[in-house]
Amino acid sequence: MSGDDKKVRVRFAPSPTGRLHVGNIRTALFNFLFARHSGGEFMLRLDDTDVSRSTDAFAQGIKDDLTWLGLDWDIEAKQSERYVEYEKAVRLITEAGRLYPCYETADELDLKRRRQLARGRPPVYDRAALTMSEEELDKYEKEGRRPHWRFKLDHRVITWKDLVRGEQKIDAASFSDPVMIRQGGGYLYTLPSVVDDIDFQISHVIRGEDHVANTAAQIQLFEALGADAPQFGHHNLLVNADGEALSKRKNSLAIAGLREDGLEPLAVNSHAATIGTSYPVAPYQHMEQIAELFDFSKLSRAPARFDENELRQVNARFLHELEYAGASEHLEKLKITGGEPFWLAVRGNLDLFGDVEQWWRVVAGEITPLIDDEALCEAAQNLLPSEPFDAQTWSSWTKAIKDETGAKGKGLFMPLRKALTGQEHGPELKLLLPMMDRARIIARLQGQTA
């Protein structure tokens, strides 16, 4: 069965040696969107063969981050539970003469590379292990050396049609035979990954373009194991707003950090899905909308610029467009009971959802008023209509104050805003006033904390 005929099944395969950041979550998102766009399946595979660094806490953290973002997976697997399958593959390629032991130490290999570079040659492994004599092997064994194992590449040009980059060609002779098993045991990435892709029938491998060079060796390993390779797509990588490589040490790049900062998951997804594409960077209110527009042909070959300020602007725009139905559950958790009128009144002034609490305090809590014009505020107290207030109360009240004091424009409205809200800017007071208590308004006009 060719890659074109397979049901779409993709995988996101993080190592649980740390938390997810904006770079690798973008890969997860592309895989998820492609699966949903194609009616396929999205797999989470935890590449936890590095037992010294992988932890259950990091694995759970990855799941928590994906869940928060709404990237729900259909299939889950852990490489640490699949060693039997990897051992079968090792036997198969060893018997075929494609896996061979090498006894050079790291220092010896480094010395070889430096000598080759000094002679103007590429630092490609010379396959010296294939010509070792029995005496040399016996000597190494007596020294207690343990081998690492390399996959013997066919020295030929490997081609594939990349979903993003188009026709690709790599001469396998220009690369060293890749190490599959570490000295002393333990699998490196390539062999378990290929075995898993075969066993779980992965149809498409979507990943960053830093993996392009690995693809030739992986295609040959698929062939050596008697399987068709999936289709490959290598997307552009992220740089910062200045065009520099991202630093993973910054907490702002961690998904957990974005969550702690109060950003919305759909805003993060919208931003990650549209930067580095021909689509405008814009917020989307539903994952289905983002999945519908996903298209490999829209991905740029140039690096994608991740700008934290732009992400926060997208977050603000997302909130400004968010309907009450999408906000109501969160408002209830914050014990904000103003309903849809309150949400529609304040959403245009939010950068983060948490900002809504300050405006609820304006309506129903305590604030410290700012009194700039005592005479105007005293007149406003005397002219404040009786309850209930409605949509016309603000305009009729301010007209009466204007007629009484002669104040107008900013000289009328700013003192009232600062007294009633403690702020110089904010939602329209004609929308907030009907939700406010008359006694609280009077107290604030008198300069009292209320």
Output the pLDDT for position 240.
85
Query: How far apart are the C-alpha atoms of 315 and 2, rounded to whole Å?
Result: 41
Query: What's the CA gap between 407 and 374, in Å, rounded?
Result: 13
Q: How many Cβ atoms sit within 10 Å of the Cβ of residue 148?
A: 21
How sure is the predictor about 1, in pLDDT bands with cuts at 50, 70 and 90?
A: very low
Q: Which residues pair with 166 in a beta bridge?
A: 162
Q: How far apart are CA 195 and CA 47, in angstroms?
A: 12
Say yes or no: do domains 9-77+189-238 and 85-181 share a fold.
Answer: no
**pLDDT tens column, 22-76:** 989 999 999 999 999 999 999 999 999 988 899 999 999 999 999 999 999 999 9
CATH assignment of 9-77+189-238, given 3.30.70.100, 3.40.50.620, 3.90.700.10, 1.10.287.110? 3.40.50.620
Where along the chain do its domains lie?
A: 9-77+189-238, 85-181, 240-321, 323-450
Position 2 scores a pLDDT of 41
Q: How far apart are CA 366 and CA 351, in angstroms?
A: 22
CATH code that applies to domain 323-450: 1.10.10
pLDDT in tens, 185-216: 899 999 999 999 999 999 999 999 999 999 99
Domain at 240-321, CATH homologous superfamily: Glutamyl-trna Synthetase; Domain 2 (1.10.1160.10)
Could you please report the per-residue DSSP string of 135-150? HHHHHHHHHT---EEE
Q: Which residues of 315-331 are buried (b: 16+ CB within 10 A; e: fewer)?
A: bbebbeebeeebbeeeb
Mean predicted lDDT score pLDDT of the chain = 94
Q: Looking at this protein, which amino acid is placed at residue 274? A: T
DSSP string, 74-114: SEEEEGGG-HHHHHHHHHHHHHTT-EEEE---HHHHHHHHH
pLDDT > 90: what percent of the chain?
91
CATH number at 85-181: 3.90.800.10
Average pLDDT of 225-235? 98
Given pLDDT bands bounded at 50, 70 and 90, which one contains residue 82? very high
